[in-house]
Structure 1
């Protein structure tokens, strides 16, 4: 690979998993991704590491199963940027940082990054909405959004993959959602209430993503469109089609550039805003977005609000569903200096009737078993398909 060094070749790669993380498909997939990253950077993958069972190895390169806190980073001796993932206070990696609390709130936790959120608000990146840290605040946020004419979406801050989400049209529906949130979770991470976004004709909005990866002094940026299959036995998310190139997001030029330009501008704003997060550092920064129309209660619909909006919905500072495509794209970019952009599709499939894609343009990242929503093991696979590339002009 183009950026191997003798120092890298002496460095060992470990998958770091917190004690509370369960062993599942994602652990097995991340082990395969860690092996691919080690090969890409000229390092050597060793094994999974559990901080509750082992002493941290010195001078390691860490592939993080999930974002870890600055305290955890110090405990394992993580240095500089010798890792893949993110080091952040737990609330900084939750969707609650994408909305401001109600003005005058006295329940905001000390770790909430108000300067970060206010910066994004002034950049026009955030959807109309609030983060609430008490049940009373959640009710007030709901009433304000309804009063402004929006249908309201409720989100648990810790709910990943759409869990803990839902439309709340009435106070009783809100109370039902809130009853599933513990006091500890509410006071520490909050809940999100925001204007719902829909696609044309009321269909679900487009789900987009974008971000950047920094490894050994090199930066790669990407944008993508996510795919979902509702009712899938393991996860509704099934993959992302990405464009990846060298450099920071402002250098990326995907096809239909005008379509992607608002999202690319948002990624540039995130790079600036991240400087405002204390004790934060990340080598993979991914952000999810929705693209569509603000969902109004019919009686309040206003012509000025019927344009397309893009709103940030969730940050991710760990390996994600598209990371297999990201790493393969990085490898191709390193080995093909005359190519400026690669187009790839990641796919994760579940169930006994799933056929793993085949062909010379398909790479199988993982094939094995996963645990379904009902707790029963079922076949699972993660693959990447190479769709195309664009040479430098």
Structure 2
């Protein structure tokens, strides 16, 4: 007689104590846990607490990308054990890996792989990664020959903390105002400034034997303090891998963005053993530099739950319920301030007054074909 499979439990994994999360982060993450648990036919178990043991086989939905050390401590050894990704070093999960150093001998962190830059040069914007304020000046001065440059702290989400330097004087002021310890520990990206036309979301997720791949565009909004923030995405999702997505024959710029996202993930896999993921998303910017040249490149990868995850899970739910369904369209929405009630068919991830963020509504709508 075949042994019965061990029952499983799906657990949220916070980067800090769950009580330290904002209310909307906590509610959204636990909602994703419930959706993943239903897809896997397992129990939703809330948050995992450090040191806790589980009688049931755990499957994790982390808030952030894990390092191999963190994953090993949880018994995670492959992508089938989590919704997210695992990297050999923490910096690999950030936009820091997207560019070369200013020169091969420049300051860098332990574990840096110089060869990655050559593998992804064609699928990112012109720029450099630096771990030293002096190198930041060097990088910015080289790029100023093409026009304004953007300085991007690698741990900030969205465009928070970023600045644009128009000339050498403003570059020096911007670099001088930055925390040298933060740069040395985590890095700083210096890129040519590009005026956005579109930011594409390209990604792929795998849960319970189902795979969904997608493309779409992001929307920006203003948060309750008037700062530019992620406002949602409108996505087309197919059952299967990227080849199934390309078979839709989307617009040439979308096909190009899909190719760049695939190249990026493949190059990281080749250069960093131990990298694995069941959820991959790339933000790919299409825009023009100061000379009017059209540029398209990956801004950063995401191997953790993100703004598109509501749509990802909604598509997987549809594919699970209808084996004949091959394509769905979904939209994610993040609305600050007072807002109308979400549509009756929406999956509402959060609606309330977050003590930190203020009034916020987050929901997903799955469109019928």
Could you say whether these structures have the same fold, taking a TM-score greater than 0.5 normalized by the shorter chain as the test?
yes
Q: Which residue of 2 aligns with 1:354?
A: 339
When the two chains are superposed, the root-mean-square deviation of aligned CA atoms in Å is 2.1
Q: Which residue of 1 aligns with 2:14?
A: 17
Secondary structure, counterpart of 2:123 in structure 1: coil
Please give the per-residue CA displacement for 1:269-296, whole angstroms capped at 9, x wherever unaligned: 13421322232111111111111112x2
1:137 is displaced (CA, Å) by: 0.8
**CA–CA separation in structure 2 for the residues paired with 1:42 and 1:116:** 39
TM-score (normalised: structure 1): 0.85
1:367 aligns with 2:351: yes
Please give the per-residue CA displacement for 1:117-146, whole angstroms capped at 9, x wherever unaligned: 32111xx10111111111111111111111
Structure 2 contact 14–62 (Cα < 8 Å) conserved: yes
1:20 is displaced (CA, Å) by: 6.3
Structure 1 contact 92–113 (Cα < 8 Å) conserved: no
Structure 2 contact 213–242 (Cα < 8 Å) conserved: yes
1:319 is displaced (CA, Å) by: 0.7
Q: 1:255 to 1:240 in 2, by over 3 A?
A: farther
1:255 is displaced (CA, Å) by: 6.7
1:274 aligns with 2:268: yes
Q: Which residue of 1 aligns with 2:330?
A: 344
Q: Which residue of 2 aligns with 1:67?
A: 65
Structure 2 contact 32–310 (Cα < 8 Å) conserved: yes
TM-score (normalised: structure 2): 0.90
**CA–CA separation in structure 2 for the residues paired with 1:330 and 1:111:** 36
Identify which range, 29-38 or 66-75, moves more after superposition.
Answer: 66-75
Alignment of 1:112-261 (within 5 A): 112-121=112-121, 124-147=122-145, 149-198=146-195, 204-233=196-225, 236-252=229-245, 253-254=247-248, 256-261=250-255
Q: Which residue of 1 aligns with 2:48?
A: 49
**CA–CA separation in structure 1 for the residues paired with 2:99 and 2:86:** 21
Secondary structure, counterpart of 1:50 in structure 2: coil
Q: 1:71 to 1:192 in 2, by over 3 A?
A: same
Structure 2 contact 211–316 (Cα < 8 Å) conserved: no
Q: Which residue of 2 aligns with 1:291?
A: 286
Alignment of 1:77-116 (within 5 A): 77-80=75-78, 81-88=80-87, 89-116=89-116
Question: Number of residue pairs matched?
Answer: 358
**CA–CA separation in structure 1 for the residues paired with 2:209 and 2:116:** 25
1:339 is displaced (CA, Å) by: 2.4
Q: 1:45 to 1:79 in 2, by over 3 A?
A: farther
Structure 2 contact 106–135 (Cα < 8 Å) conserved: no
1:335 is displaced (CA, Å) by: 2.0
Q: 1:144 to 1:235 in 2, by over 3 A?
A: closer
Structure 2 contact 39–208 (Cα < 8 Å) conserved: no
Secondary structure, counterpart of 1:104 in structure 2: coil
Structure 1 contact 228–238 (Cα < 8 Å) conserved: yes
**CA–CA separation in structure 2 for the residues paired with 1:266 and 1:244:** 18
**CA–CA separation in structure 1 for the residues paired with 2:203 and 2:315:** 14
